[in-house]
Amino acid sequence: MQKPSIPKGTRDFSPVEMMRRNYIFDTVREVFRLYGYAPLETPAMENLSTLLGKYGEEGDKLLFRVLNSGDFAAKVDPTEWGNSLQLASKISEKGLRYDLTVPFARYVVQHQGELSFPFKRYQIQPVWRADRPQKGRYREFYQCDVDVIGSRSLLFEAELIEIVERVFGRLGIRVVLKLNNRKILYGIAETIGHADKMVEITVAIDKLEKVGMDAVREELSERGVTAEAIDKLTPILTLEGSNAEKLDRLQTIIGTSETGLKGIEEMRTIFGYAGSIGTNLDVELDLSLARGLNYYTGAIFEVKALDFAIGSICGGGRYDDLTGIFGMPGMSGVGISFGADRIYDVMTGLDLFPQETGRSTRVMFANLGDEEARVSLRLLRALRDAGIAAEIYPDSGKMKKQMEYANRRGVPYVAIVGSDELSGGYVTLKNMESGTQEPVPFAKLVDRLK
């Protein structure tokens, strides 16, 4: 019989891993709630008409398509089997969601009459991408999104900066937050004479950190950007200095672009708000940051871990008309997405998880016989009533076997109730880490384990 397996790019999560993942989810959720965001969930599947065309050409290729139920080929004409694009639309009308932002926009349009704007929501769910699996990149992974829609106020960009600071501060991860603005990128494209190739330019320069400048120049050339324009672009992407100095220098370069100047003005405002908050977060203007998704129109964000080599662990931006695609124009929004799986990898690599997050049980009662088990059950109930995770070994037997079980489970305490303990009205509590034992009266066991 063939050994069972799972698809590449997906993973099983053990109980210990799930407890640690839930630690991340709970931390993120608590911070989101501090800022008035409410929870939302959407289906794993969306109609392909909802998803296609929202992520750019490369994003569309990464959509997992779901075959129509039943005889999926019933409507296919024999002549269409040779045309893959035409065939795909006939046999598949649904797909797994690529991100949480487009489904969120779809939800807002469908339920607009029920919502109060600005509408603030957070969403923690898995997404799927038909990407090539590699370190830090999975085909199924969780995103923790926080978005607000229905306002153009840049105060929300500042709020997101503070959310980033609080989340990673609580998780103990040192990060840098990189910012740019799609209007600035358009101004740059306009200045070098290729406003018509804004999408091609952003897709190429978004790979700069991964592939290097030479590869980006080559891709730009292949996409029809002239050598002269590429020469003008290169020094802009590598501007150095403080955020204010970069913006000043940029203003002299793209000052003839009205859109570009608007982007510079927005960034000055956002950096000003960040200064008013007094954030200790390292916030950096990075002109090579592009965020390849087509729906971004204003400020864009990307977060990198400082002490662990991995791709971005959080990203997002401002989108002015995503709902317009669904028939509700002029509804601006902004949001960011925390990549739970990459955050998990960073915290594992840096050993940042508190020890308790890998434990489901705080105390296990040894089972030394029927009478002892009955007393233990009463004590277990008192512990559980106090919110202390506790259990009893199911079978009476050798103490060594029970201790080995508790040790493998990482249970920090074992409570022993034997004949001496029954007559004396106490529990012998063993610390599994130090090996020490102490007698604890039945009435004081809850307080001792709190």
How is 38-97 classified by DSSP, letter by letter?
EE----SEEEHHHHTTSSHHHHHHTPPEEPPSSSTTTT--GGGTT-HHHHHHHH--EEE-
The sign of the torsion formed by the CA atoms of 89, 94, 100, 101 equals positive
176 in Cβ contact with 308 (< 8 Å): no
Residues 428 and 305 placed together within one structural domain of the fold: no
Q: What is the tens place of the pLDDT at every residue in 340-371?
A: 999 999 999 999 999 888 788 999 999 999 99
3-state DSSP assignment of residue 278? coil
User: What DSSP line would sit under 312-345, residue for residue?
Assistant: -SEEEEEESSGGGGGT-TT--EEEEEEEHHHHHH
Residue 68 inside a domain? The answer is no
Q: Give the three-class secondary structure for 377.
A: helix
Residue found under tokens 């200790």: 280
Question: Residue 392: which domain range?
Answer: 360-449
Q: Answer whether residue 179 shows pLDDT above 90.
A: yes
pLDDT tens readout for residues 181-198: 999 999 998 988 888 888
- Give CA–CA dist 181/296, Å, rounded: 9
CATH code of 433's domain: 3.40.50.800
Tens of pLDDT, residue by residue over 374-423, are 999 999 999 999 999 999 999 998 999 999 999 999 999 999 999 999 99
Q: Are residues 146 and 19 in the same domain?
A: yes
Query: What's the pLDDT score for residue 185?
Result: 92
pLDDT at position 223 is: 84
Number of structural domains the chain divides into: 2
Residues 6+ apart with CB under 8 A from 243: 267, 271, 283, 284, 285
Pick the last residue of a domain from 349, 379, 402. Answer: 349
Question: Per-residue pLDDT tens for 260-280?
Answer: 999 999 999 999 999 998 888
Cis upstream peptide for 118 (omega within 30°): yes
Residue 343 structure tokens: 């955050």
pLDDT of residue 145: 97
Same domain, 117 and 206: yes
Note the pLDDT of residue 220.
85
